[in-house]
Structure 1
Amino acid sequence: MPSDASAGPSAARWSSLDRPPLNAAALQRALVTPDSLWTSVEVVAATGSTNSDLTARAAELPEGAVLVAEEQSAGRGRLDRSWVAPARSGLFLSVLLRPGPDVPQERWGWLTLLAGVATAGALSRAAGVDTALKWPNDLLVTVDGEERKAGGILAERTGDGVIIGIGLNVTLTEDELPVPGAGSLLLAQAKVTDREPLLKAVLRSLEQWYADWREAGGDPAASGLQETYAAGCSTLGRHVRAELPGGRELTGTAEAVDSDGRLVVRTAEGEREAVAAGDVVHLRPVR
């Protein structure tokens, strides 16, 4: 799951009361019901990467399997960046989805953006903190008037399915942040930092968005996904630099997210280019 560096100082001083463990049995009862997408919820004390673990077992698991780790030692993000944080300081989870023949595979790329929309919406409601999206997979919160990355999404194909990893900093303090520009729900003054209601809210939101998107055949417009993503995407309207594969850079104004989930950038010369992959940096406005 995504991040940019290793975590800060050890959180050994935190007691179990400060960061209580998740109740796996209660989560299973609440989320795994006859009409639910979720078929199992497993919580492990520690692992290398929930995405890697779920990928290794995907062939033997039904759609809707959920794996949650209290601590990750080798979490992965885009471009193989690491995600490491103190135990029980955040939400580190992966889910297995199989969109099936009803959704053309060329639309599966929208699952990263869908997970972002679902997570941001859930956190805004359940934690009482505004959560914005940075294209394509970052979750941003505001700390002392500054946008900071508090989490991210990583989607990976596996056989006939997709593993979606979600990583979110919940109770990290300033001295525990992986990099100075990172954030957490705690630092954003969230009203709720109890991980169990937050996890349930995220998974229920993801279930609803996935059902609507799948029912629409993966059509991002018909499902409302494209419009909702654009409304919550802080990248749009910003002056950006896109660092593209192969070392090329593109600078301009982020104008839209197209029907394929690509970021449309308008250069100073007025040309428009759709960016499918790459790092996007929010720049200060040109004056």
Structure 2
Amino acid sequence: MTPRDAADDSHGTPGDSGRSGRWSDLDRPPLNAAALRRGLVRDGGLWTRVEVVQRTGSTNADLVARAAAGEAAEGTVLIAEEQTAARGRLDRRWTAPARSGLFFSVLLRPGDGVPVARWGWLPLLTGVAVATGLARAAGVDTALKWPNDLLVTVDGEERKAGGILAEGAGDGGVVIGVGINVTLRQDELPVPQAGSLALAGAVSTDRDPLLRAVLRSLEEWYGRWRAADGDPAAAGLQETYAAGCATLGRTVRAELPGDRSLVGEAVAVDGDGRLVLATQDGVQQPVGAGDIVHLRPA
């Protein structure tokens, strides 16, 4: 999952010559793994294992491999203080200074109760959960750009501060990766369109309570969705997503597979999680995959 797309991996933590020592940046203390486990793992709860690693290539790749090998149960959470080979949609790569954000993946197994056709709602559900959790714990209004970006407002501009990537893990498993820029500073931004919770004026950038809030929110929304057999309307998910989606009401360009594009007004997110565009021809066209470019404000 990617909070931001980058052209290269040249950004290191200031003051450590590109290598990230545990205490190289005292403004960015390490996560407290034991406290996170105490706060999240409980009998009957979704989260069964919470692990923090100092450095890895990609938490998504690691957790997909564990799931495929039968070494991870539903509710496993893998968190990295630093990722060296993280990627987003379309295999875009990104990097961030160590401990500057929340970089984690979770393993979910929707099971027989949720039709596979509704699993496409999982990244949208995660977006709602992340936005809800951050509003509570960071005091930041986070908007959702369809299908997988988290937006914050910095100096009156909408900027990307996070992203979500869902991947199949075999045997009914789905790994969802989340990346959120927390303390990324202005001089660390890879592109002007990037942002962070700190730059958006967060009341707290303490990553431990932020992560707990996000994971508790994800547990709550996932529980609602499963209880409704994956029906996004019955779970209240479709309505909540639409209310927080910055894409709706805007003229957008959808960059589609096969070097095609479609321009129209984003008018709805349908029951399958697709973005519905109203074109100039008066046709309502659902888009299930592709990059979305906002062409004008709502």
Mapping for residues 25-174 of structure 1, pairs under 5 Å: 25-58=34-67, 59-159=70-170, 160-174=172-186
Q: CA deviation at 1:8?
A: 6.0
- Amino acid of the structure 2 residue aligned with 1:189: G
Distance 1:23 1:285, change over 3 A: closer
CA distance in 1, matches of 2:255, 2:35: 44
The Cα offsets for residues 196-241 of structure 1, whole Å up to 9 and x where unpaired, read as 0000000000000000000000000000000000000000000100
Q: Does 1:225 align with 2:237?
A: yes
Q: Secondary structure at the match of 2:130?
A: helix
The TM-score normalised by the length of structure 1 is: 0.97
Q: Secondary structure at the match of 1:82?
A: coil
- Amino acid of the structure 2 residue aligned with 1:60: E
Distance 1:90 1:7, change over 3 A: farther
Q: CA deviation at 1:285?
A: 6.0
Q: Secondary structure at the match of 1:60?
A: coil
- Amino acid of the structure 1 residue aligned with 2:31: L
Gaps of 5+ in 1: none
- Amino acid of the structure 1 residue aligned with 2:52: V
Contact 1:254 1:265 in 2 (8 A): yes
- Amino acid of the structure 2 residue aligned with 1:71: E
CA distance in 2, matches of 1:7, 1:85: 8
Q: Does 1:237 align with 2:238?
A: no
Is 229-238 or 27-36 further displaced after alignment? Answer: 27-36
- Amino acid of the structure 1 residue aligned with 2:12: S
- Amino acid of the structure 1 residue aligned with 2:193: G
Q: CA deviation at 1:109?
A: 0.6
Is 65-74 or 26-35 further displaced after alignment? Answer: 26-35
Contact 2:11 2:96 in 1 (8 A): no
CA distance in 2, matches of 1:271, 1:259: 18
CA distance in 1, matches of 2:50, 2:15: 29
- In structure 2, the residue matched to 1:208 is 220
Identity among equivalent positions (%) equals: 71
- Name segments (4+ residues, structure 1) moved above 4 Å: none
Distance 1:174 1:85, change over 3 A: same
CA distance in 2, matches of 1:252, 1:114: 24
The Cα offsets for residues 10-50 of structure 1, whole Å up to 9 and x where unpaired, read as 32338442000001111111111112100000000000000
Q: Cα RMSD (Å) of the superposition?
A: 1.3
The Cα offsets for residues 111-160 of structure 1, whole Å up to 9 and x where unpaired, read as 00000000011111110010000000000000000000000000001111
Q: Secondary structure at the match of 1:75?
A: coil
- In structure 2, the residue matched to 1:182 is 194
Is 14-23 or 175-184 further displaced after alignment? Answer: 14-23
Contact 1:239 1:251 in 2 (8 A): yes
The TM-score normalised by the length of structure 2 is: 0.94
- In structure 2, the residue matched to 1:19 is 28
Q: CA deviation at 1:180?
A: 1.2
Residues paired across the two proteins, number: 286
